[in-house]
Amino acid sequence: MITNKLVFATNNLHKTQEVRELLKPSYEVLNLSDIGCDVDIPETGATFEENAMLKSSYVSQHYQLDCFADDSGLEVEALGNEPGIFSARYSGERGDVVNMNYLLKKMEEVTNRNARFKTVISLIKNEHNYFFEGVIEGIILNEPKGKQGFGYDPIFQPHGYDVTFAEMEIGEKNKISHRAVAMQKLIAFLKTSA
């Protein structure tokens, strides 16, 4: 039985679905569209933490609702941890395929393929702000594989696996992903603070 509502400050339906799966049945997760927020909340921070907090703070202040927001990105070791906070618009525009292809082009002659996905969640609950971080290490492949997921999932293969995130079923990815790691920390916190 759903007993609590939380706003996830995103309009990304893929991310919303992943998080709903992780938080059900204890929480009903609403996204920005569900609460009637059509503002493109600026992500002007210099870190994942700052960007996540900008989004959660906006919803908390304007809608007086408990809210969490994440900022996630891919950090490629050989590129000085690019694209980082610019992952969603690395090529200069938004779009999974164009950004992935831009990254692959930059990686053409690179032998160090080490990378990691990182998520930072900012939760504002009862007017207090809490942070939760998740990281998963892996490598960048030379070409996309798989049709699941979004973003850089088709070219990211986590250590210990012979498939990309895009080749995994959502349930499998939800057990190991950077967002899942951060979400498990958030869920553990919510259970102890309820």
Name the residues annotated as catalytic.
Answer: 71
Distances (CA, A) of 96 to 87, 102, 142, 154: 9, 10, 16, 10
Please state whether beta strands 4-8 and 67-76 pair in parallel, antiparallel, or not at all (unpaired): parallel
Determine the Cα–Cα distance for residues 56 and 52; give it in Å rounded to an integer.
Answer: 6
Distances (CA, A) of 44 to 49, 51, 54, 69, 85: 11, 7, 8, 14, 10
* 66 close to 124: Cβ distance less than 8 angstroms: yes
Determine the Cα–Cα distance for residues 167 and 155; give it in Å rounded to an integer.
Answer: 10
Neighbour-count burial of 106, counting CB atoms closer than 10 A to its CB (0-12 exposed, 13-18 middle, 19+ buried): middle
Q: CB neighbours of 69 closer than 8 A, spacing ≥ 6?
A: 8, 9, 10, 52, 53, 54, 55, 56, 59, 121, 122
Pair of tokens at residue 184: 């498990």
